[in-house]
Amino acid sequence: MPATVLLVAIIFIGATCAQTGGNAKTLVTDLFTTNSYQKKVRPVRDQDDMIVLLVDFYLVGINGVDEAAQRLTTTGYLSTLWKDQYLEWDPALYGGVISINVPQSYVWKPALALQNGFTKLQELGSSVINVNINISGHVIWEPYEVFESKCNIDVKYFPFDHQTCNISFIDWSNNAFEVEIREGTYGIITAELEDDALWTVISTKLYHDTFDLESRLTYSVTIKRTPGFYVLNIIVPVILLGVLNLFTFVLPADSGEKMGYSITVFLSFAVFLIIVNSELPKTTGSIFGQYMIFQLGIALFTVCVTAIQLRFHYRTDPVPRLISGLMACRCKSKRKITNRNENGKLDRDESKLEETWKDVISILDFILFWISFSVVLSFTIFVFVKLN
Ligand SMILES: *[C@@H]1O[C@H](CO)[C@@H](O)[C@H](O)[C@H]1NC(C)=O
Ligand SMILES: *[C@@H]1O[C@H](CO)[C@@H](O)[C@H](O)[C@H]1NC(C)=O
């Protein structure tokens, strides 16, 4: 039983299709052949009239931002509407057909193009795209494209940066008196936007102006980088390596590990920088890039200081008066303890208790630890306050 119903339905639908199909066929023949439609002629009866093109932009995805090439890649489509005065018909004559779809190559189309594009200028849309025409000659054309547009990308605040990019459309072949591009009902639509792991659209704006006599519509899109990945995989490790580096000054020179340790930290830094290099924008000027160089510089400083310290550590000659003088105030307390323990020989030993190089190095370590700790800490705070 259901099979019979289905069969009847198919025959019925087939019959109606055939009927309006025949009408549509006649209509297309009449519109394009009998009336000798010329798609090269601007479709206004009075050629002084202007064609108004209403354009909405549906942004579907942010595909990527290339900092080095200064390029934004987006996916989206334009919904364009204009009136073609040569494509009107009376539905009563064509069995009530009120709209038809024909390939975009059949009709006159505005020479709409991406003005700030990255590749060579080319017509939008592809041959598979149809246009929809209704009885009053309104043509709807929706070319879907991957747009590569030029955009000034400033990585100063990477990875907490915002970028504002313009996507401009222009009619290359017609001036503003022949074809005017205006925003449609919605302007720019982000409702269909696919989530991107790296970029979120935070605001959009629309400008309408003329460029070189041609009417231009500009969509301005502000996007924000999601910093999570960079914070976790680059920023935190760099800070941790920086902390590790400070502890070079905590190791006593006697342990014999000091040099090895500082070199290891320095190498880890260098290797880490090489590994993350591919993830960083390939342009200069980011504050974070400078911060990494600063950390590398501190690591280098530590290695050099350690080498010099070790050289002095094994010297046995007396410490020059100037240095021991400088150290004197710091060692007073230590000396008192020594003196109390040795009771009687207090005053005579005082002169022999002068600093050895070992003491000097150990005090220097203490001072350097706190100095570099405060320098690194304050610079780190300064950088991250500036970035946010
Ligand atoms: C044809 O489509 C346009 C745009 O959608 C609309 O404004 C117009 O009213 C339609 N014409 C008729 C006769 O429905
Ligand atoms: C985008 O285009 C508008 C209008 O042409 C202009 O005022 C604005 O400065 C441009 N923005 C950027 C980021 O280039």
Ligand nearest to the CA of 137: 1
For residue range 57-66, list pLDDT tens digits in order: 999 999 999 9
The answer to whether residue 328 scores a pLDDT higher than 60 is yes
Q: Ligand 1 atom 12: the closest Cα is on which residue?
A: 136
Q: Ligand 1 atom 4: the closest Cα is on which residue?
A: 138
pLDDT for res 6: 45
One domain for residues 110 and 198: yes
359 falls within a domain: yes
Ligand nearest to the CA of 99: 1
Among the listed residues 153, 167, 141, the one whose alpha carbon sits nearest the alpha carbon of residue 75: 167
Q: How many domains does the chain have?
A: 2
Ligand nearest to the CA of 54: 1
Tell me the C-alpha distance between 6 and 20, whole Å.
21
Local structure of 85: helix, strand or coil: coil
We report the CATH number of the domain holding residue 185 as 2.70.170.10
Q: Ligand 1 atom 11: the closest Cα is on which residue?
A: 136
**In angstroms, what is the span from residue 7 Cα to ligand 1's centroid?**
36
The answer to whether residue 11 scores a pLDDT higher than 50 is no
13 falls within a domain: no
The answer to whether residue 326 scores a pLDDT higher than 60 is yes
108 falls within a domain: yes
Stretch 208-213: mean pLDDT: 90
Q: Ligand 2 atom 7: the closest Cα is on which residue?
A: 207
| Ligand 1 atom index nearest CA of 134 | 1
Which burial class, exposed, middle or buried, applies to 56 when counting CB atoms under 10 A from its CB (0-12, 13-18, 19+)?
middle
Q: Max Cα separation, the chain?
A: 129
Q: 79-93, 275-289, 303-317: which range is least confident on average? A: 275-289
Q: 74-78, 192-196, 246-250, 264-268: which range is least confident on average? A: 192-196
Mutate to test the pocket of ligand 2, among 65, 167, 205, 218 (most ligand atoms within 8 A of CB): 218
pLDDT bucket at 353, cuts 50 / 70 / 90: low
Between helices 287-313 and 357-387, what is the axis angle to 10°? 180
**In angstroms, what is the span from residue 230 Cα to ligand 2's centroid?**
29
Residue 105 sits in which domain range?
21-225
One domain for residues 213 and 285: no
**In angstroms, what is the span from residue 237 Cα to ligand 1's centroid?**
60
pLDDT bucket at 354, cuts 50 / 70 / 90: low
pLDDT bucket at 1, cuts 50 / 70 / 90: very low
Tell me the C-alpha distance between 205 and 188, whole Å.
8
Q: Ligand 1 atom 6: the closest Cα is on which residue?
A: 138
We report the CATH number of the domain holding residue 303 as 1.20.58.390
Residue that terminates a domain, selected from 200, 225, 250 = 225
| Ligand 2 atom index nearest CA of 216 | 5
Local structure of 346: helix, strand or coil: helix
Contact 24, 94 (CB under 8 A): yes
Three-class SS of 52-108: EEEEEEEEEEEEEEECCCCEEEEEEEEEEEEECCCCCCCHHHHCCCCEEEEEHHHCC
Q: Is the CB of 220 under 6 A from ligand 2?
A: yes
Identity at 316, one-letter amino acid code: T
One domain for residues 188 and 241: no
**In angstroms, what is the span from residue 135 Cα to ligand 1's centroid?**
8
One domain for residues 87 and 150: yes
Q: Is the CB of 207 under 6 A from ligand 2?
A: yes
Q: What string of DSSP letters covers 349-387?
A: HGGGGPPPHHHHHHHHHHHHHHHHHHHHHHHHHHHHHHH
**In angstroms, what is the span from residue 166 Cα to ligand 2's centroid?**
6
Rg of the chain's alpha carbons, rounded to an integer? 38
The answer to whether residue 31 scores a pLDDT higher than 80 is yes
One domain for residues 43 and 179: yes
Task: Fill in the DSSP letter of residue 21.
Answer: H
Which residues have any ligand 1 atom within 6 Å of their CB?
81, 134-136, 138
Residue that terminates a domain, selected from 225, 253, 277 = 225
pLDDT bucket at 9, cuts 50 / 70 / 90: very low
Q: Which residue has the tokens 């970028």?
A: 163
